[in-house]
Structure 1
Amino acid sequence: MTELDLQEYSHSLLLEVQADAEAEGTTTPEAFTRRVLEDLEQAGVVANTFTAYHKTHGHEVHGYGVSDSGDTLDLFITDFHLNPLDSKLGKADTETRFRRLLTFVRRCGEGFGQEVGESFDAYDMCAAVGKSLTEVNRIRLFLLSNRVGTWTDVSANELDGIPVTHEVWDLARLHRHATSGVLGEPIVVSFDPPLPCVSAPSNEPDHSVVLAVIPGRVLAELYAEYDTRLLELNVRSFLQVRGGVNKGIRQTALEHPGKFLAYNNGITATASQVEFLKDADGQPTHISRVHGIQVVNGGQTTASLHYVMFRDRKDLSQVSVQMKLTEVSPDQLTEIVPKISRYSNTQNRVTLVDFSSNHEYHVRFQQITRSLWAPAKDGSGKETHWFYERARGQYTDGLANARTPAQQRRFRDLNPTSQKFSKSDLAKYVHSWHQLPYWVSRGAQKNFNEFMARIDEAQPRVDVLYCQRVIAMAILFKAVDRIAASHGAGSHKSMVTTYTVARLTLATEKRVDLDRIWREQAVSTTLEDAIDDLCPRVMHVVTHPRDGAHVGEWAKKAACWDAVSRVRWAVPPTLEAELLDHPLDEVVAADDEASSAARGEVTLVSPEEWYAIERWAKETRNLEPWQRQLAYSVGRKLELGQGVPDTQVAQALHVRNEAHRLGFRLAS
């Protein structure tokens, strides 16, 4: 990385943050914080993050997050400068900011949240942090900065017996993260003592395989330290201990730890480099160090052992796990690792999210949008592109390839940063339109996983019209986002926005004219006025949770959508006059052949099985209420010889697949 590279990245980052801040109606520090947290969520470094700024004497905070397992509390503080290269982020500044962040955590534990009024953005954050301190096993403090840090080695400490670690994400580290071509920094693990192994002879030049047995305690500790980063290439989220596989893993570890090796399938891992101890003949005998380790199959085993060790607080000294470790050449990662993950998986279905950049859907979407000219707006007469980042860093690469200042200006003119969007953004726009706001509210990574699962179940026909309408969804989403900001949605804006879009499409039956939005590259004044009327009604429901939950958790629940869907609001006559006569039904629907196949698959499932799924879900509470109702509704339609609506086909198949994944079995 040269100084020129860093200067170009810094300038590009600053322009993008300023564009985001302007588009979202927020401050540049908040836009920077959100951008970095979205990147870190996609990388699996953090999860379930929320931005909320609070500063008073002695403390300062810009956001927080809690890991999926509930074991880790993350706090974030931001250092953002409009002239970031004029000064360095030094040792004293770094330590001061971490000290202020830790003071905030300590005060939350002492009941500081009671001093913050419910009307403030920080209220939910203080309540969530205070509650988490009674449950977590570690605290991570993050300093996010667009300056270059000169002091990144901050020693760990404790807070009331809870280990506290520090991470500095400065300009240089953010640049490495954006341009490395991978989602996170490689995990390097040393084994002490080294793991005995058996090497499998191979003539393949691009990979080699060794077999080993890894102590269960070591595997659980790896997950405790690296969380979902260890499973980036596995991409299957830990399903807690609800599914049958996880329950079995946990039960074996608790009741028969010495038999775990015999009963469990073990894990499949990959690495970019493996260091061995060798015998006199040069044959590997022990694994001493592994670079870039990833668990590509066996994520459930890994996370379940972590649960047993840290939640059940059970000793794993008798638990051993078999491991197949494949050393893969870095230039072959994207080709070989997905196949290893796919072919080795014999438990729950794997969706290859982190390698989804090469999914035909995303490849086709990029191909079309790169040559798709958006109509000129505001009378400028200048057509532009909506730049779709199929893979991380494509926009930065495109800007870097424009060597001269004039070429870079032209690139930005044709590809405005306000029109750049990623895979997770696309999933957010589409799911909001399709009334799945509770998935959007679960975070970029989880929402994208669900999006890809639905894409795989009902493959869309990605053509010019499809891309234009998805971009129109993006324009609609951004318009709602600006309006939500004007109503003081604050740190809850992302949730208010997705729920408002969903409530709008529900009320209008998806008859909003996306083709007109595309042609005009904006929503009409009439539509904007209607959104302005609807948004505060939705915001009131989203920001006033039931049962005392905080807003972030409430918004993740289907019950929140049920409440929002009941908000009293009628489409104004002026907007009704602009709506289409029929719904733009299933903009992301499968093509005719795929739709026909999906309908056929639904009808092959007996009504008895749909009814059984509904009863099982009610007994186990493994599915959402609307999913149980859908299963019953489909079974009833089939029993009466009626057709299942196209709008329900893909969702019904998804519900059935989800039920089977979580342990449902039809009694013979």
Structure 2
Amino acid sequence: MAELELNDFARTLIADTQATAEAEQTSIPGTFTRRVLEDLEQAGVVSNTFTAYHKAHGVEVYGYGLGEAHGSLDLFITDFRLTQWEDRLTKAESEKLFRRLLTFARRCGSIRPNLDEHSDVRDMCEAVEKALADVPRIRLFLLSNRVSTSAAPAPTELGGIPVTHEIWDLSRLHRQATSGMIGEPIVVSFDPPLPCLSAPSSEPNHSVVLAVVPGQRLAELYDEHRTRLLELNVRAFLQTRGAVNRGIKDTLLKAPARFLAYNNGITATASHVDFVENEDGEYVAIREMRGLQIVNGGQTTASLHHVLVGAKGDLSQVRVQMKLTMVRPEHLAEIVPKISRFSNTQNRVSLVDFSSNHEFHVAFERITRTLWAPAADGSSQETRWFYERARGQYADELSKATSPVAQRRFKVLCPTRQKFSKSDLAKYVHSWEQLPYYVSRGAQKNFAEFMIRVEESTPTVDLRYCQRVIAMALLFKAVDRAAAEHGAGSHKSLVTTYTMARLSLETDRRIDLDRIWREQDVTPALRAALDELCPRVKRVVVAANRHVGEWAKQSACWDAVSRVHWTVPETLADELLEQPVEMAAQPVDGDEAVDEVESIAVEEWDAIGQWAKETGNLELPERQLAFTVAKRLDTGELIPVSQAVQALHVRREALRLGFRPASA
């Protein structure tokens, strides 16, 4: 696991450095040097650093630093590679680089006269030459994005000045970047304590207090922690485009003293609170909150910050009411979504928003935030697909980039075209799984069905799963382009989902999603097949004498599309996998699902298939699955876990729609 984390860190470091260098039009090694020095300055390892690059025969340097109160002269040399991180920094290489750096310190006086008087390198030479006159020690730093195979060389000296060596290789940079920053709770102290009013509660898992928080303090908290403060919110800050947010801003600027009266305040949770109690043991003030999260009121909080920092507004008169719920960590997943659902009234929040904290979406976001997509279109720049687990996350991340250069860099790493939401994900997956009639019912209803399926058969959200879902997104976008080219017009979204579903059906889900992921595009053969299939599907979906929107919502439409005469072209058939793509949908206990399927009589599974065929109440793949399970049980074949889970879902759906077993 540690090696995987280091690999991800290495890829992130390379991609981020490339993007920054491109945006700022600077050299890649120089950009890496500045990045590392900024981190080391923040950590207190170095101070007063300056970057300037000079290389000549036997000499190389990337910058220098002067320790506080001239405690040391620090010299930096960089080793940066665009190759994979498995390429190690050897002992011989590091010793050679340190020699070149020390040679610069020895020769800087003779180098200076040959340089332009306005150059950064000449200024560096003068500063180093002056520091060598009275500095008590010299520290040589080797900065590298490779893993070193050896320790730093032993101390030496230069003109009687002690010289030490430090190697900041990939492993050490990774430790520095992650030290103390994983899962740390947000802790907020109040001095003097914040007055509060406790509400009696018999509930063992949580208790509630009410308080009024200074607006400036809340804005400062957001400035310090940003979206970490809103991790359990159903959505991120929605910027100031909506009417409610503009209203918040106007009140803060024009009538700050009335904010408490006008605003609904915030709803927060904490895992532990240190209270001041009165003689009766009642909570009267808050000294400290640990594990603070704002689960409703993200707009209010971020708007306060925007007014304080962006508009330079005065928040001294602003007060914000807070309902604080103390929730034990083991009950967060159960209680917080309900708090969000029942308390959120400022902007319309959809079912999609309320599912933000589901473990499936949290896991998918966690993996995709560290997942680099291979470079495409001949570029050497890797990118990310940005999954919006909560509405507005992309805009919020972009807003953190305060300069045009930083914003360009963010968009290079996370292009807008590669942003997708939870409802988009449900659309891609259901199209691949041949459920286009769900997709055609709209984002909300389709997502509701998707979550039902997730609850019944929770996918194993791992690296491969995320890559394949993104491949589905790429395939969907390719189909969408084909639908546009064939004049689908206002019905393009319907034609797209049905075309992708028909493609999935005809190929038996044997399209190589892993190849699409690797190439970040569909193959020419697949593109040609879509060009041939799309107009045939369009003729059925956009049928004459029918209300297209209502027709596409019906399973009968899928039955009609599934019968469209089309066979896989030879060129595409050559690319298909031997077996269908597995999405690793696993229930909590797969063995239980298999046992339950096997406990049901063969005759009942066969009867479900026959009943579905006669009534049309189940979809074609569902009734085919019932027949398949019956056949496997009859011949004694093993039932795969994923098939068992789906079969149980089919049986529950059949019972709901009126199927009655013979024994009933």
**Superposition TM-score tier, normalisation by shorter sequence:** 0.3 to 0.5
Higher relative CO (Cα under 8 Å, sequence separation at least 6) belongs to: 1
TM-score normalized with structure 1 length = 0.46
Larger Rg: 2
TM-score normalized with structure 2 length = 0.46
